[in-house]
Amino acid sequence: MSISLSLIYLVSTIAFIIGLKKLGHPATAKNGNLIAASGMGLAIAGTIFIHDLRVPTTIYILIGLAILIGSVIGGWMAIKVKMTKMPELVSLFNGFGGASAALIGLVEFSKDGGDKMITTTIVSGIIIGAITFSGSMIAWGKLNGSIKSVIKIPYHNSVNNLFLAGIVAFAFFMVTAGASNEVLVFALLAAGLIYGILFVLPIGGADMPVVISLLNSLTGIAAAITGVLLSNMVMLIGGILVGSAGIILTIAMCKGMNRTLAAVIFGTFGATDSVPGANKTLGTIKKTNPSDSAIMLNYATNVIIVPGYGLAVAQAQHVIHELEELLTKKGVNVTYAIHPVAGRMPGHMNVLLAESNVDYSLLLEMDDINPQFKNTDVVLVVGANDVVNPAAHNDPSSPIYGMPILDVENAKHIIVNKRTMNAGYAGIENELFYNDKTVMLFGDAKAALTKLVSELKNM
């Protein structure tokens, strides 16, 4: 490798580290993204142009064409995607990265001279790449609703673990036997793909963000393995950075949901048919209408809005901002309470509200806002359910018991906007709705809030 290319890779690697660091702070995140992207552009350009290989023009044209196609499609998808669809897009892109690593492994395998360490890196790259690809595709399908039901495989943990052990044994055999048979490597690829499907299918939809983060981390590891294989530092360090950062992020997400990683992977959260206490009679609910709700909000001093995924689905993030501005103009203190897993991914709700120009200093995180509920006159819960379910505090038999929630029940009055009385993502009843202080404002979030806003304007 020429010195100039080594220098370019060095600069790219530093750009990755600084970029990732800056991505972790709100004020510098935008720059961080630009720095990391520039590092990537530099590494790619350097790889194409600086080498002493004699490469025919046709191959250059092919590479250029591939880059053009990938950039246009990727850029187009990134521009077109709705912010509510962000989690599945990340999953899709992640799957592509994994597939790329697996394909590289396949080509390298065909050139492999039988060195055991090289074969080891190749087969592990293929397996991990294949698992991330098929796993990400299933996660994508689950999030966008094309794979609706939780597919249950009997004894799925044992089946999966046996299957994984089988793959490892098979790979070990290929390495030690020095097998260079193309059929075997395709069988290994297929096994990796099947395992990815088996791994993600039984995991409940509520845990999908954690799975995506985990798969993201795995893609990083696949990239790093490919870097070892090709003795390429920028791939090695870039991949490992993503791998270890991804694991930390995965654990942070698990903490937000009060789940352990093991419980996500081996548990059956969101996959249960019948939930204890589901048929318990919880009392009666009180319905309200937009004009009564408007009166309550108008005469309140402190209002907290709790947005959930229902708000995002109804595309009501702009109306809620209008409501907040209107109330603020009328002298009401309005803040937003953001649960760590509101939306479909941690931080997803912040992105959605930021999209409609909500000042991010009004978005308060759970630990900061929980003590404030007791001094709050009205809490407006829009399309959120499990994250405000008191069962997490007081029902040990509940599947969400122990999950940190927003202590909405401490407020003086609670307005809950929901489309129907259907249970939330975890599929359990919410006694908050039956609380004496709670009134239910049924209807699509956007329609209901629009009416609420027009009622308020007339006051």
Partner 1 sequence: MNGLLEFIGTNIEMIYILILAVFLGVEVIKHIPAVLHTPLMSGANALSGVVVVGAILVMLNADPDNYFALTLGFIAVVLGILNVVGGFAVTGRMLKMFKKKS
Q: Which range touches partner 1 (CB under 8 A), out of 45-53, 273-281, 306-314, 378-386?
A: 45-53
Report the alpha-carbon distance of residue 261 to residue 214 in Å, rounded.
9
Question: Does 37 contact partner 1 by CB under 8 A?
Answer: yes
Q: Which of 84, 94, 124, 160 binds partner 1 (CB under 8 A)?
A: 94
And the tokens for 315? 């595309």
Closer to partner 1 by Cβ: residue 73 or 187: 73
Cα dihedral across residues 402, 203, 445, 339: positive or negative: positive
Greatest Cα pair distance in the chain? 81
407 catalytically annotated:
no
Question: Does 313 contact partner 1 by CB under 8 A?
Answer: no
Q: Which range touches partner 1 (CB under 8 A), out of 192-200, 249-257, 282-290, 431-439?
A: 249-257
Q: Which of 135, 196, 307, 340 binds partner 1 (CB under 8 A)?
A: 340
Question: Does 178 contact partner 1 by CB under 8 A?
Answer: no
Distance in Å, CB of 447 to partner 1, minimum: 25
Distance in Å, CB of 80 to partner 1, minimum: 10
Q: Which of 4, 51, 286, 374 binds partner 1 (CB under 8 A)?
A: 51
Report the alpha-carbon distance of residue 294 to residue 435 in Å, rounded.
20
Bridge partners of 319, per DSSP, are: none
Question: Does 25 contact partner 1 by CB under 8 A?
Answer: yes
Closer to partner 1 by Cβ: residue 229 or 311: 229
Distance in Å, CB of 274 to partner 1, minimum: 32
Report the alpha-carbon distance of residue 143 to residue 405 in Å, rounded.
23
x/- map, 110-129, partner 1, by CB under 8 A? xx----xx------------
Q: 190-209: which residues touch partner 1 (CB under 8 A)? A: none
Distance in Å, CB of 215 to partner 1, minimum: 9
Question: Does 162 contact partner 1 by CB under 8 A?
Answer: no
Closer to partner 1 by Cβ: residue 172 or 299: 172
Distance in Å, CB of 81 to partner 1, minimum: 7
Q: Which of 7, 10, 29, 165 binds partner 1 (CB under 8 A)?
A: 29
Closer to partner 1 by Cβ: residue 126 or 414: 126
Question: Does 233 contact partner 1 by CB under 8 A?
Answer: yes
CB contact at 8 A, 391 and 430: yes
Q: Which of 7, 10, 14, 70 binds partner 1 (CB under 8 A)?
A: 70
How many residues touch partner 1 (CB under 8 A)? Answer: 114
Catalytic residue positions, numbered:
386
